[in-house]
């Protein structure tokens, strides 16, 4: 019987099966380093602008024309710009992509393993070749549907991450609206304070003339000067408020402050006080469909699937172990074997992980109830604040109307010589103070409206297409 050359046979075996190894390695991913450079990321951030072509293309894709230089940016266009630039949205998108990638991991099946363990035995007299080459495989088979349960966990967690992203969209929009409202308030207050200061200067000038003539006391003149000084201080402080509002608006947009240097804004969105968000069906829809409520519900569904997975793990997986051995001692005989192995559940039945999964499900259920209860409180508080603000605004409007009529009457009486110019100057001061009060009431109502919009997250405020635009990949300084 001829002696088989082990070395040549091994080479032929490896060559014949090398394609299997090559095929397995061809689908492997390769690492590509993407370092973060603080200098480059800072430069990219500083280069952001509301006039960049990439932002213009993003606005056009969402059916919004970029305002031409010198034209005003309204809340809708600014909201899309914030969706494009805001770093918090980029982070929320990355979290969603990570959760979606986890679904790929959950769906993967365990790979089989192959082992080759050549042995050398020269202790058998007369053996033609001392080599024994056993080849064995371990092919795991998952049981009890645990792969489907694992996929369900990942699917629900991915859905929860998606709702978290939508919640971030509303946070970005609410922050931007609040910043734009603050910018409007600072600008409008400065204009009114300038007018009020001018009226008080007229009062002081007239009182100084009367004081020289002995018509008024020094106390009255001093009080007028104190009032004017207070108004001047308020106007000077308002200049700082304008700068702070500009910084806050830039931060809400995700751009540097210098990007807003030549940008003009439209505040027309703050002239309306809609009632459509106060309808009972809007409140009910919010309590069922708010992003945090839906995210909490998806996490509860994930905890359900996780418990089911741990229960399925009571049952052992099956491992098929077919094998092949070439026994050169028997003149190259081939030996085949079929192995089957299972883990024996004799020491535990996965009780610990099952108990942990049940406890987590209970905790997530409690979290869902807490989130929904918080939503109820937030919506009801927002509705109450909005109703109260609207009532104060109506009172302020009534007061301002009465003072406007009084100012008109005083002006006519002065022309007729029935009253003094000082009376008209004092009437103007009182009128502008009422205008400031009405502005404060309007701002309070707009702040309450913003809180209500954020609480109900209704499509009446932010269209589904706008939300979808925020879900797509936009500008980012990340690699």
Q: What is the dihedral of CA 193, 195, 201, 202, to 10 degrees?
A: -150
Q: 479 versus 245: which is more confidently predicted?
A: 245
Mean pLDDT across the chain: 86
Residue 149: its pLDDT value, please? 93
Choose the most confident range, by mean pLDDT, from 18-22, 206-210, 395-399, 467-471.
395-399
Domain segments of the chain as ranges: 49-56+67-108+142-314+349-460
Percent of the chain with pLDDT over 70: 87
What's the rounded mean pLDDT across residues 359-382? 96
pLDDT at 12: 53
Specify the pLDDT at position 473. Answer: 63
For residues 80 and 64, the answer to whether their CB atoms sit within 8 Å is yes
DSSP assignment string, 193-247? HHHHHHHHHHHHHHHHHHHHTTSS-HHHHHHHHHHHHHHHHHHHHHHHHHHHHHH
Check if the beta carbon of residue 416 is closer than 8 Å to that of residue 422: no
Q: Does 129 have pLDDT greater than 70?
A: no
Q: What are φ and ψ of residue 321, in 5° steps?
A: -130, 65
**Nearest-5° angle of CA 159, CA 160, CA 164?**
120
Question: So what's the pLDDT on residue 391?
Answer: 94
In degrees and rounded to multiples of 5, residue 215 shows phi and psi of -85, -25
Do β-strands 131-141 and 119-120 pair in parallel, antiparallel, or remain unpaired?
antiparallel
- The tally of CA atoms less than 13 A away on the side-chain side of residue 361 is 17
| Fold of domain 49-56+67-108+142-314+349-460 | Outer membrane efflux proteins (OEP) (1.20.1600)
pLDDT digits 0-9 by tens, 417-427: 888 888 888 89
Q: pLDDT at residue 442 above 90? A: yes
* Residue 297 pLDDT level (bands cut at 50, 70, 90): very high
Please report how the helices 146-212 and 421-456 are oriented relative to each other, as an axis angle in degrees rounded to 10.
180
Task: Please tell me the distance from the alpha carbon of residue 67 to that of residue 65, in angstroms, as a whole number.
Answer: 6
The model's confidence at residue 157, banded by pLDDT at 50, 70 and 90, is very high
Mean pLDDT across 15-36: 66
Q: Is the pLDDT confidence value at 176 over 50?
A: yes
Q: What would you report as the CA-atom Rg of the chain, rounded to the nearest whole angstrom?
A: 38
Region of poorest pLDDT, from 119-128, 292-301, 355-364: 119-128
Phi-psi label, residue 270: left if phi above 0, alpha if psi -120 to 50, beta otherwise: alpha
Instruction: Look up the pTM and report it.
Output: 0.84
Phi, psi of 304 (to 5 degrees): -65, -50
pLDDT tens sequence across 62-115: 889 888 887 899 999 999 999 999 999 999 999 999 999 999 999 999 888 888
What is the Cα–Cα distance from 275 to 202, expressed in whole angstroms?
42
Distance, first Cα to last Cα, the chain: 66
Does pLDDT of 180 surpass 90? Answer: yes
């Amino acid at each position: 019987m001829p002696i088989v050359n082990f070395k040549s046979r091994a080479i032929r075996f490896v060559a014949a099966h090398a394609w299997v190894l090559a095929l397995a390695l061809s689908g492997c991913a390769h690492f590509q380093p993407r370092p973060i450079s603080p200098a480059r990321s800072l430069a990219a951030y500083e280069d952001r602008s509301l006039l960049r072509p990439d932002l213009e293309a993003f606005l056009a894709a969402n059916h919004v024309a970029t305002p031409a230089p010198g034209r005003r940016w309204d809340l809708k266009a600014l909201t899309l710009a914030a969706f494009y630039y805001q770093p918090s949205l980029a982070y929320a998108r990355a979290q969603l992509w990570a959760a979606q990638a986890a679904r790929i991991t959950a769906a993967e099946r365990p790979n089989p393993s192959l082992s080759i363990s050549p042995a050398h035995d020269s202790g058998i007299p007369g053996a033609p070749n001392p080599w024994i080459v056993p080849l064995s495989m371990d092919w795991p088979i998952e049981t009890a549907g645990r792969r489907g349960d694992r996929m369900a966990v990942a699917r629900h967690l991915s859905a929860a991450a998606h709702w978290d992203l939508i919640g971030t969209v509303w946070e970005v929009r609410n922050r931007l609206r609040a910043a734009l409202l603050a910018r409007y308030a600072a600008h409008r207050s400065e204009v009114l304070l300038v007018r009020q200061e001018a009226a008080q200067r007229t009062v002081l000038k007239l009182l100084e003339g009367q004081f020289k003539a002995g018509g008024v006391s020094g106390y009255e003149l001093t009080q007028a000067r104190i009032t004017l000084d207070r108004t001047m201080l308020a106007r000077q402080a308002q200049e700082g408020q304008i700068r702070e509002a500009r910084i806050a608006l830039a931060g809400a947009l995700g751009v540097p402050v210098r990007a807003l240097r030549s940008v003009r804004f439209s505040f027309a969105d703050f002239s309306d006080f809609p009632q459509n968000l106060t309808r009972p069906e809007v409140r009910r829809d919010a309590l069922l469909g708010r992003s945090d409520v839906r995210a909490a519900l998806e996490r509860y569904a994930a905890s359900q699937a996780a418990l089911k997975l741990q229960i399925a793990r009571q049952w052992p997986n099956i491992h098929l172990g077919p094998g092949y051995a070439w026994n050169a001692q028997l003149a190259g005989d081939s030996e085949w074997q079929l192995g089957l192995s299972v883990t024996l559940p004799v020491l535990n039945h996965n009780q610990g992980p099952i108990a942990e999964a049940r406890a987590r499900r209970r905790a997530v259920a409690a979290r869902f109830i807490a989130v929904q209860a918080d939503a109820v409180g937030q919506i009801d508080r927002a509705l109450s604040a909005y109703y109260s603000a609207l009532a104060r605004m109506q009172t302020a409007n009534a007061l301002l109307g009465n003072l406007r009529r009084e100012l008109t009457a005083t002006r006519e009486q002065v022309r007729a010589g029935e009253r003094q110019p000082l009376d008209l100057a004092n009437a103007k001061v009182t009128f502008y103070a009422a205008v400031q009060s009405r502005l404060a009431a309007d701002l309070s109502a707009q702040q309450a409206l913003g809180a209500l919009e954020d609480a109900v997250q209704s499509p009446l405020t932010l269209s589904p297409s706008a939300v979808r635009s925020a879900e797509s990949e936009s500008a980012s300084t990340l690699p």
